[in-house]
């Protein structure tokens, strides 16, 4: 992410390409039978890493107007969840907020994917009106998440601030109504 804002640095598109190829090669986007041998903690960390790659590569694709590195149906792992040791800790509520923020970020990238697919598909299965309702729903969910983090002003996640949500909302509308 740092490289997006550092002129003259390494190209984030190249990093995303290498990251995606490696993630697909080691099977982070699905759970082969060998995953059953992993501990619950290792399995959850593996899932989180897969979703992190998904979010990062989707962000790069949308930011640069590039095709997606892989279709959504390649992602065959459950969404991230809270682990028992996180839930039971003194900071359990912070882990729960972090999980909600992560899931909200994933839903943003999935929504962007649906919008792009609908725009470039000659026979879209989703109408512009349906996508607009999904955008409104995503924004509303973000506002609810934002209000739930107000009780922790010193640790307010950036991705739940109204400013960030408003910018993402406007970006979704631009993507929907004025695609590049």
Distance, CA of 115 to CA of 126 (rounded, Å): 9
Query: Which residues, at least 6 apart from 142, have a Cβ–Cβ distance to it below 8 Å?
Result: 104, 160, 165, 168, 169
pLDDT at 76: 94
Note the pLDDT of residue 148.
65
User: Taking a C-beta distance cutoff of 8 angstroms, is the pair 128, 121 a contact?
Assistant: no
Q: Looking at residue 79, what DSSP letter applies? A: P
Query: Which among 52, 63, 57, 62 has a CA at the least distance from the CA of 21?
Result: 57
Distance CA 70, CA 45 (A): 21
What pLDDT is stored for residue 121 in this prediction? 84
What integer pLDDT is reported at residue 15 of this predicted model? Answer: 87
Mean per-residue pLDDT pooled into runs of 10, the chain (180 residues): 73 89 93 88 94 94 90 93 90 86 95 93 88 97 78 63 91 90
Give 27's contacts (C-beta < 8 A, 6+ positions apart): none
Per-residue pLDDT, 146:
81
Residue showing tokens 């697909």:
24
Residues in Cβ contact with 66 at an 8 Å cutoff, skipping those fewer than 6 apart = 13, 60
**Residue-wise burial string across 16-29, b where 16 or more C-beta atoms lie within 10 A, e elsewhere:** beebbeebbeeebb
Length of the chain: 180
């Amino acid at each position: 992410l740092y490289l997006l804002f550092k002129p003259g640095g390494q190209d984030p598109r190249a990093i995303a390409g290498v990251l995606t190829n490696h993630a697909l090669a080691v099977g982070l986007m699905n759970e082969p039978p060998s995953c059953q041998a992993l501990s619950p903690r290792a399995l959850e960390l593996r899932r989180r890493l897969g979703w992190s790659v998904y979010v990062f590569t989707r962000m790069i694709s949308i930011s640069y107007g590039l095709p997606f590195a892989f279709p959504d149906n390649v992602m065959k792992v459950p969404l991230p969840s809270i682990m028992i040791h996180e839930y039971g800790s003194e900071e359990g509520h912070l882990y729960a907020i972090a999980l909600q923020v992560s899931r909200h970020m994933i839903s943003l990238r999935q929504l962007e994917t649906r919008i792009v697919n609908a725009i470039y598909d000659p026979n879209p299965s989703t109408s512009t009106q349906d996508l607009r309702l999904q955008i409104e729903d995503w924004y509303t969910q973000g506002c609810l998440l934002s209000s739930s983090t107000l009780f922790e002003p010193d640790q307010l996640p950036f991705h739940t601030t109204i400013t960030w949500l408003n910018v993402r909302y406007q970006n979704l509308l631009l993507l929907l109504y004025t695609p590049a």
